[in-house]
């Protein structure tokens, strides 16, 4: 069975349309100032009008407070909030309870111990997203979208006690192999379908979605 696919960091109508046309299951919108994929509330409101009811919107936030999340939900209406910072299990549970949305928690991975860290979020997050941990000292590193991958074999035999997805450096050339090795049921890409940081490439989006649906 092919994995579900999320195209993250969408900023334009053309990129969003390409993702929908190619069969993306989730559309990701970034609300984090330092990111080249950051959206203003005005931009998010305009893009919301283009999201069909059959595709889920995901709002990516980093250590956002309740006021910011409330405004994002009012403007974008996402069904899912993706927490990409240092949010604790207690914070994740509080977001779910207050706003009535699903919450995904991104976890940075460099070792098997990082995979095991997901257990703290069982019963709090609806899903954990394993992403590559930026190396110490990486200049201008972001919480995600750094075009970095991690050793996928860490997931091959891992015991994971909740729904999970894979992110980090996925592109049209490696996504089928990543799915084959990990068995991920959800895959997430951002920088892997860009021609420059924050600039989505419609051809790469189409190629990624096609490759993600193949058997490798």
In the CATH scheme, what is the homologous superfamily, with its name and number, of domain 4-212?
Aldolase class I (3.20.20.70)
Tokens of 124: 């709090």
Lowest mean pLDDT among 51-55, 56-60, 108-112: 108-112
- Residue among 72, 14, 6 nearest 38 (CA): 72
Q: Could you tell me if 171 and 149 are in contact, meaning their C-beta atoms sit under 8 angstroms apart?
A: no
Q: What residues contact 103, with CB distance under 8 A and at least 6 apart? A: 80, 81, 82, 83, 92, 95, 96, 124, 125, 126
Residue in this structure with the two tokens 């200049």, named with its chain if needed: 139
Q: Which of 41-45, 94-98, 156-160 has the least mean pLDDT? A: 156-160
CA distance 184 to 17: 25
**Residue 64 confidence (pLDDT) above 50:** yes
What is the tens place of the pLDDT at every residue in 160-170?
Answer: 999 999 999 99
- Report the C-alpha gap between 45 and 4 in whole angstroms: 25
Break the chain into its structural domains and give their ranges.
Answer: 4-212
Task: Compute the average pLDDT of residues 93-120.
Answer: 96
Q: What is the chain's alpha carbon radius of gyration, rounded to the nearest angstrom?
A: 16
Dihedral pair phi/psi, residue 174, rounded to 5°:
-120, -5
- What's the pLDDT at 10? 99
Examine the pLDDT at 145 and tell me if it is beyond 60. Answer: no
Which run of H or E residues covers position 61?
A: strand 56-61
Predicted model pTM: 0.93
């Amino acid at each position: 069975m092919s994995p579900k696919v999320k195209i993250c960091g969408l900023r334009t109508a053309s990129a969003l349309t390409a993702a929908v046309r190619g069969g993306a299951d989730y559309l990701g919108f970034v609300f984090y100032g330092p990111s080249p994929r950051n959206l203003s509330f005005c931009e998010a409101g305009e893009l919301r009008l283009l999201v069909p009811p059959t595709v889920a919107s995901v709002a990516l936030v980093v250590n956002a407070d309740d006021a910011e999340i409330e405004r994002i939900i009012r403007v974008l209406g996402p069904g899912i909030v993706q927490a990409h910072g240092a949010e604790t299990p207690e914070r994740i549970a509080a977001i779910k309870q207050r706003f009535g949305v699903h919450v995904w928690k991104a976890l940075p991975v460099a070792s098997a111990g990082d995979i095991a860290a997901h257990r703290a979020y069982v019963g709090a997050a609806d899903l954990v997203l394993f992403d590559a941990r930026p190396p110490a000292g990486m200049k201008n590193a972001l919480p995600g979208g750094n075009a970095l991958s991690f050793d996928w074999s860490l997931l091959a035999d891992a015991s994971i006690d909740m729904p999970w997805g894979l992110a980090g450096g996925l592109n049209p050339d490696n996504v089928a192999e990543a799915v084959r090795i990990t068995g991920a049921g959800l895959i997430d890409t951002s920088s892997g379908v860009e021609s420059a940081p924050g600039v989505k490439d419609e051809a790469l989006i189409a190629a990624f979605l096609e490759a993600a649906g193949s058997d490798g």
